[in-house]
Structure 1
């Protein structure tokens, strides 16, 4: 390991191979700055930070560094909906239109909350031309999607609502609970649970934000020849990953993609959720499989619960019961009830693989080998 590479934190000796894999992510797999946390039972056994917050490598990654999570944010939103279900404010079998009547337009009246959160509603993005400003337009964007005809028959399959699920979810959440997801996370996850998680980022916290770093050619639309659902989700408009470094992005309420946090807070959130933050009944409903098969946007097999990505092809280790979410470029957070663990990795240098980032694979394989 280079002598000038800052790595701090702690790691139980039992998991020394995981620390080595974390270090090798920097020396062999291109990491610039990153954090890793593993909780087994109720013990934090790994809490590491390393590298740099900026491309110039002048600002070390510290324990309180936060970074844009991209779609790892979706798991935070899924937990918020599970809290509402646990409080009796909604059920996953409720029709979205029961809470949001305008959503029933164009044949969407049969879409349930579970269907929406598992990417089955046929609204993977805007059908008509859209700009980044449209994606960040809050309720106006939600109204536009609610009025839109579905791009496929709702319930006939999943099609990853990469950005649009955040637009739809925060509007639905507000209509059920009264607060936006952004405010709910601020008051109940950050405030109530004391976890360093936010939707967007307050300008006052910008001093501890890590800069997103990405190859110049990386774009959300770079997955080959696109179908209509893929165009809506990934190319209307295409997203430049460096958008995450802009104030407009950080000001938005977009639970699909602009969460800011770190590995320690995310692992704690999943550990608490899996360990009893909500009732067993609510947790089972939130993590129950809702649809599986080849996703119309991702083009790969996916198993979706109500907002969570369920373990498929061993992306979250060997146990089928694992659930969580991963983000564009490489971040992830998940819980594995079988192994009684929660794990998260956050970073600022984005990778280009849709699935199978070598940094993820190395860390997860080392954890389960040590277990």
Structure 2
């Protein structure tokens, strides 16, 4: 397979690394994008978008990057904070009384957004629910006790993040996650990114595939991803029903170009994220909120309101290998999005070619 696309002067190493990943059969379908000073300086595609290998991966190919989706759930919640209908440090039970039981009476939106709400996975009682039973899964979180006292420990809310924010928006803002994203966030940021992919865009969506059928079982995060069943089952995640559903923690579908452009403007004082949120919330979004051992990641990590941060980058990625980041060192936004579910070594090698390091995730 030949890598298609372009690189500006000075970025040839990115193409060389990407071609090497393809030549070694470590990549079968992916896109790479880098934005610098308001323009795309790298746009590369390789491989196939479908399991039958009939559709070449193109610059506009959409793919599900798993937890990279969470960054946009965060933005939907912060728009409601901007509008004054939610407060970051007010107990969620103020808006959503049913939620404030069994030790969750003082849980706040800030704790949810920084993965300290004590609900990093759906409870055992949700094991019999369908993956797309949105209301049932949300209600299981309402009834459940947290796994730890909210605010006292840290663990990425791997599958629950979107359902928690959706419930808070429904109760406190009179809207839903998908409505806030589609009506406010996506147009404000001019994103080619979708929760519930519309019919005309379905033919752009890439099929996920395993690099190794045993991959789901090898994940450190596997215990947090088992309920409800199906989030790692490519028969489910490649279905039209899944692509047109809203599972906020993981099922945004987007392009490498869209994600790199978004991250390239993430910190800008005259960029669309700051314009969307206002100066104070924009500063809060980017500021380090907590540094601790994240039990789901299995490492020490610094969370902002929705991103991971260290001295060199602000980033978000997802299981399977997709990642996007803003380089604090070099001032570029980057994205590596893949359909081949494996580890993050491929994105890490692209990062090295750019002078970045994806391995350091804690600020201190």
Question: TM-score range with shorter-chain normalisation?
Answer: 0.7 to 0.9
- How many residues of Structure 1 are paired with residues of Structure 2 in the alignment? 348
Q: Distance in 1 between matches of 2:82 and 2:168?
A: 17
8 Å contact from structure 1 (residues 32, 51) kept in 2: yes
Cα RMSD (Å): 2.4
Q: What is the alpha-carbon distance in structure 1 between the residues aligned to residue 120 and residue 77 of structure 2?
A: 20
Of 157, 164, 179, the match for 1:161? 157
Q: 1:114-263 to 2 correspondence within 5 Å?
A: 114-131=110-127, 133-214=129-210, 215-219=212-216, 221-223=217-219, 231=223, 233-238=224-229, 239-242=231-234, 243-263=236-256
Higher mean Cα deviation, 31-40 or 275-284? Answer: 275-284
Quick one: which of 362, 368, 371 aligns to 2:349? 362
Ranges of 4+ aligned residues in structure 1 off by more than 4 Å: none
In 2 relative to 1, CA 71–119 (structure 1 residues): closer, same or farther, beyond 3 Å?
Answer: same
How far residue 337 of structure 1 moved from its aligned partner, in angstroms, is 4.1
Paired with 1:132 and 1:23, the residues of 2 have a C-alpha distance of: 44
How far did 1:260 drift? Answer: 0.3
1:55 to 44, 51, 54: 51
Aligned to 2:290: 291
Worse-matched range after superposition: 69-78 or 247-256: 247-256
What's the TM-score once normalised by structure 1's chain length?
Answer: 0.86
Contact 1:271 1:341 in 2 (8 A): yes
SS in 2 for 1:106: coil
SS at match of 2:266: helix
* 2: CA distance, partners of 1:96 / 1:210: 37
What is the CA–CA distance in structure 2 between the aligned matches of 1:162 and 1:194, rounded to whole Å? 26
Contact 1:212 1:241 in 2 (8 A): no
- The residue that corresponds to 1:316 in the other structure is none
Q: Select between 86-95 and 113-122 the one with higher mean Cα deviation.
A: 86-95
Residue from 74, 82, 98 that aligns with 2:70 = 74
| Residues 237 and 335 (structure 1), Cα distance of their counterparts in 2 relative to 1, 3 Å cut | same
Check 1:299–1:164 CA distance in 2 against 1; reply closer, same or farther (3 A cut): same
Q: Deviation digits for residues 238-279 of structure 1, max 9, x if unmatched?
A: 543403102232232112111100111112222333223223
Task: Give the 3-state SS of the residue equivalent to 1:174 in structure 2.
Answer: helix
Consecutive unaligned residues in structure 1, runs of 5 or more = 312-318
Q: Is the 8 A contact 2:31 2:337 kept in 1?
A: yes
CA distance in 1, matches of 2:14, 2:307: 25
Partner Cα distance (1:266, 1:64) in 2: 12
> Does residue 345 of structure 1 match 2:336?
yes
Change (3 A) 1:11 1:132: farther
1:119–1:158 CA contact under 8 A, matched in 2: yes
